[in-house]
Structure 1
Amino acid sequence: MTVIEHLAKWGSEAPFEHSRAARDVARHAVEDVIACIIAGSNDLGASNVRKMVYASDSAGPGTVVGEEKAVLPQLAALANGTAGHALDYDDTFLPGVNHASSVLVSALMALGEQAGSSGAELIDAYLVGLELQFAVGSGVMRSHYDFGWHSTSTIGCIGAAGACARLLKLDARRFAHALSLGTSMASGCKVQFGSMAKPLHAGLAAQHAIEAAQLAAAGVEGRLNALEGGMGFLELFGGKGPAGWGKNIEKLGAPMTAESRGLMFKRYPCCASTHRVLDAFFELRAQEKFEADEVESINTLIGYGNSRNLMYTNPVSEMEARFSMQYCMAVALVDGAPKLSHFTPQSVKQEKYRRLFGLTTVSCYDPAEEQKNVDLMRPHVITVKLKNGRSLERSRDLPVGTLKYPFSLDDRKAKFDDCCKSRLDKVSSDRLFEAINNIESEGHLSRFTGLLRFGAKANHAFRTSSFA
């Protein structure tokens, strides 16, 4: 039995019943992604993708969040997946080193509308898809990511193809071909970080996941050793010394990865590679009570892959600023926690931040040591040297928003409201929040997605500061 056949057999036969803990994570993911789509719909890149979608003859049943006109499911997934990842505020799936939910939710919501799926079926397919992302990722991480692949659009595409196959109730054979076709559609490199193409990767992965499942359902077949076979995914995408698949895929769903590992929901609208440092900084500052003008230097010690993500030491756009430790630390020093309003063209140009870029340096752990244990989450460390000679240090093993340090319900609602406020009034936002958290009781997704077709109510001027 090939790896794909093993995954397909599990994915097509896994029980529909899931633990409350796993389902809670899935509902939180839907809630978080929809909030990020609404906020991200104001972004110029996401707006340009919608422009392309509506320029084509694309009428269909798929909801593009915030728009009244429905389109073909794969195009709705493209638009929503791009918007969901546009602000880099969507969750991170640490085992897959990817943004799992923007891909999964965007694909499943669009396909589910067409298929007449229920809310409970969407949650089930999400959990199966997340498990498959973990399984596929376990064979190639971290070398795949450190080699330069954007796993949101590689691992994400393959796992989401499986999620779509689950939603369509494909048998094991057709399910396997959906995964195989997904490997042929997996792509996206990290050179695009800090550009419009980075969030587009999530949209393309969601689009291709639907297409892979639909093609398999129509009888299109691929090689079933596409993951581990010669000239397959492992050989071409694995990077240096990938582990491959073995016993780590023998106990899928026992328990579900959503329950045992969870997701990292983002506290700040910037690259996840900054979050542990930011959390540590705010803890240190609360304890030591220092101001920006008292700081002589800041050194951060982070993972090798994290350091490669933060490639902009002198960002000139809001997109680059999301991948800049220098900018994020400058905002933290001056204003406190980074917010959506800090990532606009106007904010990045402000001298009160730019003059502080030189204070922050980034160092990293030895990548060879990291690769030996892909599950090892080494702490991220910040050292703040003050002008009076004191040196202050703090570390974080995991960021706020993980299973170990979860958001409170108030934290979740505050983020949801902040993301929605440029497009929805408070009453509408509250109604949508409640509907998402009751999605499992919805018999047909189209009744839920009808709430998302609220039209051009708010401004679309993110590039001119819709979050200020």
Structure 2
Amino acid sequence: MSDNPVIAFGRWLAETPADWPDAAWQAAHRAFIDIVAVSVPGAAEPVTLRMFDTVARWGAGPSTAIGFGAKLAAPWAALVNGTAAHALDFDDNFDPAKAHATAVLAPAILALGEQEGASGRDCLDAYVAGLQILGRVGQGVNPVHRNRGWHATATVGAVGAAAACARLLRLDAEQAGFALSIGTSMAAGFMSQFGTMVKPIHAGLAAKAGVMAAAMARGGINAGLHTLDGRTGMTRLMVGPDYEQLRDGLTHVEHGQTLRFETEAVGDPLLILSSGLKVKRFPNCGSAHRAMDGLLELKDRHGFTAEDVAEIHVRAPVSHLNNLMYTDPRDPLQAKFSLEYGLAVALIHGGCRLGDFEGDMAMRPDVRALYPRIHRHPVDKAEGEFPTEVEVRLADGRRFETRVRMPVGSLAAPFSMDDYWAKFEGCAAGAMPGDARERLRAALERLPELGDLSPLMAPLGFTSPAAGARDRA
């Protein structure tokens, strides 16, 4: 293998046989169940409705726009469906890339797969391979890339989606490398968009980039081979001019993030198994989940209520608290990036659901009354070095503490299949007709055996109540 990552990753995509371990196929299958589940209600979110209205005038095509009763050209379907997948912030996280992986990969794969007549197994194979390259690129630029404000879902995600689509199209090694390189030219997105409509659009833009990059490479468009590690490549432009100093000075490595691209053993370990995905228990920023898990653990164990609580103290890595930038959220989008809101809702209701991020729910007096009792204590350590600590002090003087290293939904506390299907039902019920929901679930269960994607995409072609109301207005 070449030590040039564009070449090495392109060769790996083209030459690696689809003989993944059974556990990898199963993990990919579960990822599709989860992302389809959250995309169904995500399609009815205002940002997705507006995105569809924007791209629909650009022309119809072969690929289903979820929840709109319409088909678009594959790049535009990937853009709309990627936005829907990330709109609720209920989609999974992937630590090696510090990105929302499936919200980028699956919409690109499904849009292109529907166009190309791909089988369910083809799509799962593209997902495993695309996730591997997404992770390898993320390990080469993180943690600094994301800590400096780049939204890796949008940046690293574009390259990972290009990898998945190159695999799906069965590009040769040179074409696959060009697809990755083209993807770097569409990699963009800042964390300053968090709490706005543009944040979920980042996932859609990355999915669209993957479809387009692979199609361009198949069409004979070539690209530079030093866009990841060259003098003006991703490392020096999107990590920083001090990249080499940072790389050589690393003293602590998490999630394989060495600031080096692994070019010798690209597929070993297989990241879908060694790192896994963090599937979300709650529909808000994952940086809040360890604290919310800890609070609910203490609440369940000791039986206190919101009225009993005098103070909640959270000691967490500064990177987590930086992501939760809204201490006084005023709307649903801000509430998703608020530690205070997540903890207050969990304390009052014993959980956190999609309905807690609708309308004026962020302005509920009972929730807002708890904010002064919640205290942040940033710790200047990486998430793997320091578990989130939650301390609850009650009005009667009792104190309870716990430490949470990994959230529910991670490899440390994985979802059962019952959990996946419960999440599916919770997302789809009320968001799509019952007959379509039943057909969708049946198709998802059989995804690895589908000869093409029509049984899956047909029920996803329903028209959501929100889209229908907009059409009638």
TM interval, short-chain normalised: over 0.9
1:445 maps to a residue whose letter is L
Instruction: Tell me the distance in 2 between the aligned counterparts of 1:274 and 1:250.
Output: 36
Instruction: Tell me the distance in 2 between the aligned counterparts of 1:100 and 1:40.
Output: 16
2:323 is aligned to 309
1:404 maps to a residue whose letter is A
Alpha-carbon deviation of 1:426?
Answer: 4.2
Residues 95-133 of structure 1 show CA distances to partners (whole Å, capped at 9, x for unaligned) of: 111100011000010011111211110000000000001
**Paired residues of 2:121 and 2:450 also in contact (CA < 8 A):** yes
**Paired residues of 2:36 and 2:85 also in contact (CA < 8 A):** yes
Alignment of 1:16 with 2:24, yes or no, is no
Alpha-carbon deviation of 1:446?
Answer: 3.0
2:462 is aligned to 454
SS in 1 for 2:84: helix
Alpha-carbon deviation of 1:455?
Answer: 2.2
2:107 maps to a residue whose letter is S
1:466 is aligned to none
Alpha-carbon deviation of 1:301?
Answer: 1.6
1:44 is aligned to 46
**Paired residues of 2:83 and 2:203 also in contact (CA < 8 A):** yes
1:163-202 equivalences under 5 Å are 163-202=164-203
**Identity across the alignment (%):** 38
Find 2:356's aligned residue among 319, 342, 352. Answer: 342
Alpha-carbon deviation of 1:334?
Answer: 1.1
Q: Which moved more, 1:267-276 or 1:381-390?
A: 381-390
2:221 is aligned to 220
Instruction: Tell me the distance in 1 between the aligned counterparts of 2:146 and 2:318.
Output: 11
Find 1:359's aligned residue among 373, 379, 387. Answer: 373
SS in 2 for 1:353: helix
Alignment of 1:110 with 2:124, yes or no, is no
**Paired residues of 1:90 and 1:102 also in contact (CA < 8 A):** yes
Residues 25-78 of structure 1 show CA distances to partners (whole Å, capped at 9, x for unaligned) of: 111111111111111111111110011122x23111010012222110000000
**Paired residues of 1:43 and 1:462 also in contact (CA < 8 A):** no
1:435 maps to a residue whose letter is A
1:399 maps to a residue whose letter is P
SS in 1 for 2:287: helix
Find 2:259's aligned residue among 234, 239, 244. Answer: 244
TM-score by length of 2: 0.93
SS in 2 for 1:93: coil
Alignment of 1:297 with 2:311, yes or no, is yes
Residues 222-250 of structure 1 show CA distances to partners (whole Å, capped at 9, x for unaligned) of: 2111111112100011156244325x443
1:24-423 equivalences under 5 Å are 24-54=26-56, 56-239=57-240, 241-242=246-247, 243-246=258-261, 248-366=262-380, 369-370=381-382, 376=384, 378-423=386-431
Instruction: Tell me the distance in 2 between the aligned counterparts of 1:378 and 1:427.
Output: 47
Instruction: Tell me the distance in 2 between the aligned counterparts of 1:105 and 1:291.
Output: 40
SS in 1 for 2:390: strand
Alpha-carbon deviation of 1:251?
Answer: 2.1
Unpaired runs of 5+ residues, structure 1, are 464-468
Residues 299-327 of structure 1 show CA distances to partners (whole Å, capped at 9, x for unaligned) of: 11222221111000000000000000011
Instruction: Tell me the distance in 1 between the aligned counterparts of 2:259 and 2:299.
Output: 43
1:146 maps to a residue whose letter is N
Alpha-carbon deviation of 1:333?
Answer: 1.5
**Paired residues of 2:311 and 2:392 also in contact (CA < 8 A):** yes
Residues 413-438 of structure 1 show CA distances to partners (whole Å, capped at 9, x for unaligned) of: 11101111132244532331231121
**Paired residues of 1:36 and 1:89 also in contact (CA < 8 A):** yes
Distance change >3 Å, CA 249–CA 295, structure 1 → 2: farther
Alpha-carbon deviation of 1:344?
Answer: 1.1
Instruction: Tell me the distance in 2 between the aligned counterparts of 1:75 and 1:354.
Output: 39
Instruction: Tell me the distance in 2 between the aligned counterparts of 1:249 and 1:282.
Output: 43
Alpha-carbon deviation of 1:253?
Answer: 2.5
Distance change >3 Å, CA 294–CA 53, structure 1 → 2: same
Instruction: Tell me the distance in 1 between the aligned counterparts of 2:118 and 2:468.
Output: 35
Instruction: Tell me the distance in 1 between the aligned counterparts of 2:198 and 2:230.
Output: 30
2:449 is aligned to 441
Q: Which moved more, 1:262-271 or 1:440-449?
A: 440-449
Alpha-carbon deviation of 1:462?
Answer: 11
RMSD between aligned residues:
1.7
Instruction: Tell me the distance in 2 between the aligned counterparts of 1:126 and 1:202.
Output: 15
Residues 263-315 of structure 1 show CA distances to partners (whole Å, capped at 9, x for unaligned) of: 01100000000111111111111111111112111111222221111000000
Distance change >3 Å, CA 286–CA 150, structure 1 → 2: same
**Paired residues of 1:91 and 1:100 also in contact (CA < 8 A):** yes
Instruction: Tell me the distance in 2 between the aligned counterparts of 1:301 and 1:429.
Output: 42
**Paired residues of 2:296 and 2:347 also in contact (CA < 8 A):** no
Alpha-carbon deviation of 1:443?
Answer: 1.1
Residues 122-179 of structure 1 show CA distances to partners (whole Å, capped at 9, x for unaligned) of: 0000000000011001111111111000000111110110110011111000100100
Instruction: Tell me the distance in 1 between the aligned counterparts of 2:426 and 2:131.
Output: 27
SS in 1 for 2:389: strand
**Paired residues of 1:384 and 1:392 also in contact (CA < 8 A):** yes
Instruction: Tell me the distance in 2 between the aligned counterparts of 1:404 and 1:252.
Output: 25
**Paired residues of 1:279 and 1:396 also in contact (CA < 8 A):** yes
Instruction: Tell me the distance in 2 between the aligned counterparts of 1:377 and 1:218.
Output: 46
Distance change >3 Å, CA 460–CA 337, structure 1 → 2: farther
**Paired residues of 2:436 and 2:460 also in contact (CA < 8 A):** no
**Paired residues of 1:331 and 1:338 also in contact (CA < 8 A):** yes
2:426 maps to a residue whose letter is D
1:454 maps to a residue whose letter is F
2:252 is aligned to none
**Paired residues of 1:165 and 1:213 also in contact (CA < 8 A):** yes
SS in 2 for 1:152: helix
Instruction: Tell me the distance in 1 between the aligned counterparts of 2:290 and 2:193.
Output: 23
Aligned residues: 454
Instruction: Tell me the distance in 1 between the aligned counterparts of 2:434 and 2:267.
Output: 38
TM-score by length of 1: 0.94
